[in-house]
Chain A
């Protein structure tokens, strides 16, 4: 069974208050049973440190509910911000949505549903 994927696609300047809206949107996805949230940043022109803080906070919520949050299509400014703050070690970032979909199709490891299945199987094998 394939996991439920939801795409969240904010636009413009992602400052603290805008990123909090994104966080709320992600929370709603989780409440609706989403297992993978793709944050598509292609229309985001700029992120500041408080916007970034809210994204980290969203990531923590996503993780604690057993889901995953992935990011795609970051602008040069966002890339610079992520490098400066070592976010490249925190977020999994895809070049674009195509790359994300390709990976989803070829790498079942990424899907929380099939990951549970794999772990369950290896436990039985033991």
Chain B
């Protein structure tokens, strides 16, 4: 998909959306501007998948019972070797590290929910949830390109 109105390489951008699960499509197509031929399709799709889980988690959990006007801010930064996705919400403080420890090793294969955190945790090289001021939290998802498991780490030659 080509869009000539956009500069070819965007390294950093942010998006504000309401507390609305229906905004997921908008979030995902906004993220498409960060795609680049230098990033493998696999890493790219993993980041997109993690972003979807981060956003819907903010709507479902952090902003549970909040009005749809409450803003969720998404910021993405693409550096030469990693993607950093930040999702800022107005929820209550939450100890993600503790929660991740309590997730079962093997999730019930036939569970009809509860996979979101596990998915983000498997994709991210770093996953943190931090209280950034007295009203907001930030979910940080970091993914390094070089951690690719299908063995194309040799191809990072300039030119």
* Chain A residues proximal to chain B, CB less than 8 Å: 12-13, 15-17, 46, 48-50, 52-54, 56-57, 59-60, 76-77, 80-81, 84-87, 89-90
Query: When the two chains form their complex, are residues B112 and A77 in contact, meaning their CB atoms are under 8 A apart?
Result: no
Our pick among B52, B109, B111 for the contact of A46 (Cβ within 8 Å) is B52
Chain A contact residues, majority secondary structure: helix
Chain B contact residues, majority secondary structure: helix
Q: Is B82 an interface residue when CB atoms closer than 8 A count as contact?
A: no
CA of A49 to CA of B53, assembled, Å: 7
Total interface residues on B, using CB and 8 Å? 26
* Chain B residues proximal to chain A, CB less than 8 Å: 21, 24-25, 28, 41-42, 45-46, 48-49, 52-53, 56, 107, 109-116, 118-119, 122-123
Query: When the two chains form their complex, are residues A85 and B118 in contact, meaning their CB atoms are under 8 A apart?
Result: yes
Query: When the two chains form their complex, are residues A50 and B119 in contact, meaning their CB atoms are under 8 A apart?
Result: no
Our pick among A17, A60, A77 for the contact of B49 (Cβ within 8 Å) is A77
Query: When the two chains form their complex, are residues B21 and A17 in contact, meaning their CB atoms are under 8 A apart?
Result: yes
Given contacts A46-B52, A76-B41, A76-B45, contact A16 B21 (CB under 8 A): yes
Task: Given contacts A53-B115, A76-B41, A77-B49, list 20 more A-B pairs with CB under 8 A.
Answer: A46-B52, A49-B52, A49-B53, A49-B115, A49-B116, A50-B113, A53-B112, A53-B114, A56-B111, A57-B112, A59-B110, A77-B45, A77-B48, A80-B45, A84-B122, A85-B107, A85-B115, A86-B107, A86-B109, A90-B110
Query: When the two chains form their complex, are residues B111 and A80 in contact, meaning their CB atoms are under 8 A apart?
Result: no
Give min CB distance, A62 to chain B, whole Å: 12
Query: When the two chains form their complex, are residues B24 and A13 in contact, meaning their CB atoms are under 8 A apart?
Result: yes
Residues of A within 8 A of B118 (CB): 84-85
Residues of B within 8 A of A86 (CB): 107, 109
CA of A46 to CA of B111, assembled, Å: 20
Given contacts A76-B45, A77-B45, contact A60 B119 (CB under 8 A): no
